[in-house]
Structure 1
Amino acid sequence: MDILTVVYFINFILLLIASYTDIKTREIPHTVVILMLLINLPVGYYLFGLDAIISFFATLILCLILGIGMGGGDVKIFTTLAPIFSYGGKILYVPIPILLLIGISAVIVAFFPLINILRKYWKSIIPSSLGLSVFYGFLTYLFYKYKVPYASLLLWMYVIASIFISRKIPWYREMINKLSYLTPLYLLGIYVIDRNYFTDNNLLISFVICVFEFILISIVIYALTGAEVSVKKPIPQLKEGDILRDIIFIKDGRAKVEGAGLWRRFKIMVDMEMGKKGDYDKIILTDGDGLKKEDLELLQRLHREGKIPVDELTLITTYPFVPFVLVGYLVVLILHYYFGVV
């Protein structure tokens, strides 16, 4: 085997070790990252010259820019891998295989929370998606028969609004859920009334696809409206790196806790980046790096002094990221060795 193949194999073993510790302790050993750096940077420079050094720093800068939602250990892993992938094309001096690796890892890590939301809320999401598909299909047929302009746009606006409304209004959700029982009647009715429409539009297959589309849209909307899978944790048991779903507003030495979804957190994060804190002395809102040491100590002190109105805070369930990097790494190697794509 050539030296690059050996180095790729060594990195696979090191990523395997890092994945195990990330799963067990949510930490990436510094020794693993240091070993990867000590191996990859010299080998990259030996094989690819100055390109390896430029790729190293370009990837570091990119990962720091993408640092919202990416921990420090993940940044180091992508950066230390860059020198040994400097053999081919680059975008802004970042090797294309590294960009692909980041993309694959990010897609997988984004997929897991959606699966957990479906697992937690499936009794609501699946019946409402079926019922909504029945109503959507019936309206589509009526709009088709009477040639209503902008029908598709109007229907999709209704679908998205309906999912939002069903999240907030129980009676509306129950009404949509009950429409799911009419699925066989809807399909049979359209077949009897207008067989040409049924066959020309492959209505049975279209209905199944529509249900899956509405399930996916529902999961995304649930996430955007604060339905992330979360856990409660006593304030004294909080640790550095925990990602809070709650936002803590501090004024005059007292704290107020507000639960917030993605939109609310994003808006406050943007305001904070612009230096807007309103009337508050401090706002604690965690990003991808989690709870900082100084904020953790402040929260625990306020709790001991009785100046925070709750005993527990809500944490967003997080996932070990390195195993997803390992999967992406294997995909990149397969594409390189067996398909010659990257």
Structure 2
Amino acid sequence: MAAGIVVVIFGAAALSSGWRAAHRMSILEPAPVTMVSEPTALASVAASGSVPAGRIEVPSVVGMTLEEAQALLGAGGLAVRALASPAGETTPGAVLEQDPAPGTIVGRDTTITVWYASTSVGSATGGSNDPDAVRRARFVVCIDPGHQEKADLGREPIGPGAKQTTAKCAAPAYGVVTGQSEAEVALEIAFAVRRELEAHGARVVLTRTTNAVDISNAERARIANECGADLYVRIHAGSDTNGDLRGVRTLYPAGNEWVAGITAASRTAAREIQRSVVNMTGARDLGSAGRNDLAGFNWSRVPVVLVECGYLSNPIEDQRLATAAYRATVARGIAAGVLHYLAK
């Protein structure tokens, strides 16, 4: 059996010795190799025998600066693809998410995608995170993970020029059993949808990549408008006083002058996504329906849908939506529906 190794990264002069000591990469490869290691960590990795020779366990780089993440991953022989995402309240330059996930066993030269906080994302003219994306990507999809950590009950017009107002961002629902937040569920599903769509060549813009933001529904719609989205997908989870209610529903804008120009396309997209998510998950089909009272619809100038991925007020769906596997299944359904719509 190959010897277990814990390698301490020395290559980046910008990294402090304390930082280097705190971030190590688990590698298993044939000895001998010149290294610095800690005996206890070495014994633990060697005993596990879980990493095949010449393979690497992907370390966690979330929370590091982009430069630190690139140094750590590069020292292990991994390539890095850095994509910008809206910073929200996160320090610009900090890594927000990575793919593959920490702990994944990969080969040398594998590309690790990291999303980092940036204050210059989402413009209609230069919003590509990748220099080749405009040339390669056929479609742009804007994804809005519904809600946020804290509600914003300040008021905004329900549509352009309207006197009627609505809350800028209502409080998220919470799981009746798990206590999980709708904002958290929506964000994790949105990340998974992004991965699916980007794998098929679409350019994806997220309205948020953290729960610690304060973005109104009208502002989220403006992000979709400004990036020229072919489809704007809002991801939510429902709640109802009837705890027996469960299932998936997809909403689309209809019934007022603000959305008249996008209703038909939005309805088509909603039906495609609804069918796909139900087929993927086996969830109860609650159909698709038009709404005229949502600011997130009324401020949109591009086709838009809202996917209610299940009811957190239902014990069964709450517990399903708490699992990574079910969230991933929902995400695959949404992505498949989006791709079917875009292919029309």
Same fold at TM > 0.5: no
Q: Tell me the TM-score normalized by structure 1.
A: 0.23
Greater RCO (CA < 8 Å, at least 6 residues apart): 1
Which structure shows the higher strand fraction?
2
* Higher-Rg member (1/2): 1
Which structure shows the higher helix fraction?
1
Q: Tell me the TM-score normalized by structure 2.
A: 0.23
